[in-house]
Every structure is written in structure tokens, then in C-alpha cells.
Amino acid sequence: MRSLITLIVIALVALVGCAHHPLASSAMPTLFLVGDSTMANQPASKYPEQGWGQALPAFLREGIELQNHATNGRSTKSFRDEGRWQVVLDQLNAGDFVVIGFGHNDQKVEDPARYAEAATDYRHNLNRYINEAQAKGAQVILLTSIPRRAFDAQGQLQETLGDYPAVARQVAADKHIPLVDLNHLLAEVVQSMGEEASKQLYMHAAHQQYPNLPPEGKQDNTHTQVAGAERVARLFVGEVKRQDLPLARWLR
């Protein structure tokens, strides 16, 4: 009898020890979003403008935390130089997810604080982000930038992001990590909608349509409004599920 009691006590101690072992932790994973204004949370003063990361919470299941660190106007260079990446890196734990999407501001050759040439600096910066996140045990998903709404005279959507989407695709392939090609996915949607109807996805506001915006309205073919943010979030979620990525278990 005494031997049985001893075995039970040993078993209980082992269970308690396992429960406190870091590898046995059931801590809530965190999904970190890292990118520019097309992903960022936008203030109410800019309504109806929204980054697609702002629409993502509606697609998340309970049990995962979302931190949207995407920031207006940032590139792979400036996001790091300003210490924003370090804030993410300091919090990363094994089992977390990092979604990285830049490009719009990296191509701004007139601004040395942001410019990162596609084939060299941009590629290097993406590789460095990926390596550092993976060293913490996080799982990385790389993105291509959403397209700008730019139609030619024949009604064909034009590519305005140069080599940046292609470089992101190549980096993902070289690093053997998942890629969600938002550039391609949203371009298909915008092209199918056409030049006029696709305005409802981007930040187009009519004269005096919103009291918080200038009376003349707004014509912005880079940033999305609510409907566009939701569409991009759906595209992201759909592609994560299609690829059956580990993040898919946390998505509705």
C-alpha cells in the first residue's frame, strides 16, 4: 500500500513539473503583423480608410492574440531603423506567428530613410527579418504588397510596384517559407471588378461624403477603405487555409 502511495505521489510531482516546463506550456500564441499603412490600424479620423490588418480580428478564433505593429509610411529599412522590429523581436516566443509585408515605401528612391533597392537591400532586409524571427522559434509568413489601383486606357490593371513582389516571392522560395501573394490575389479581384467598381475597395470618397475628411473628398488608389480591407483580409485567410498552414487552425 505504501509503495502504491509513493508511486502516486511521484506521478503527481511529475505532472506538476511537466505543466511548468516551457515546452509543455499552453500559453496563447501571438500573431504579429509587420508592415506598412496598407496593413496598419488607421485612426477614426481617417475613416473609412482601414488597413487590412484592422479587419483581421473578425477572422480569428479564440485562443490567439493579435498585435498589429504595421505602421504608416514604413519600409523594411525604416521599420528596423526606428526600433519597431526590435519591439516585436523582444516579445517573440516559440509558436508565435509573424506576417511580414512591405514594398510600397521601399521603392521611394527619393527618400534615403526608406528606400531599399529591390534586388539588394530589400532582399537582404527580408532575409534578416525572417532569420531573426525563426531564431526565436516563430513561424513566418511573407507577403507581397497589395497592388495600386492603376488602370491603363485599355482598362488593364498596371503593375506599379516594380520588382518588389517578384523579390518577395523569390525570398520565400529560397527560405522555404509560406508566401501569401496578395499582389496577385487582389489584382485578380480588382481587374475583374473593373476600373469604376473597384473604387469601392480603395480610399475613394465623394465630395462632402464624410465629415471627418476634407470637403472635396479623397481619391487614393493605394490604401483601402473598409470594404477593401475586409476583402484583403479574406484573401489572406483563404490562402492560409488553402495552403493548410499552421496558422489556419486559429482562423474562422
Radius of gyration of the chain from its Cα atoms, rounded to whole angstroms: 22
Domains and CATH numbers, the chain: 27-250 (3.40.50.1110)
Predicted local confidence at residue 101, as pLDDT: 98
3 vs 197 pLDDT, higher one: 197
Q: Does pLDDT of 62 surpass 70?
A: yes
pTM assigned to the model: 0.88
Amino acid at 125: N
Cα distances from 129 to residues 72, 126, 163, 172, 180, in angstroms, run: 19, 5, 19, 12, 16
- Taking only the tens place, the pLDDT of each residue in 117-160 is 999 999 999 999 999 999 999 999 999 999 999 999 999 999 99
Q: Per the structure block, which three cell numbers stand in for 64? A: 490567439
pLDDT at 14 over 50: no
Answer yes or no: is pLDDT of 20 > 50.
no
Higher pLDDT, 235 or 8: 235
Strands in 144-217 per DSSP E:
179-180, 202-205
Write the pLDDT tens digit of every residue in 65-79.
999 999 999 999 999
- CA 80, 52, 164, 95 dihedral sign is positive
∠ Cα 216 37 95 (to 5°): 155
Look at residue 174 in the predicted model and tell me its pLDDT. 98
Integer Cα distance of 26 and 28 in angstroms: 6
> What pLDDT score does 10 carry?
37
> What confidence tens digit (pLDDT) does each residue in 186-244 have?
999 999 999 999 999 999 999 999 999 999 999 999 999 999 999 999 999 999 999 99
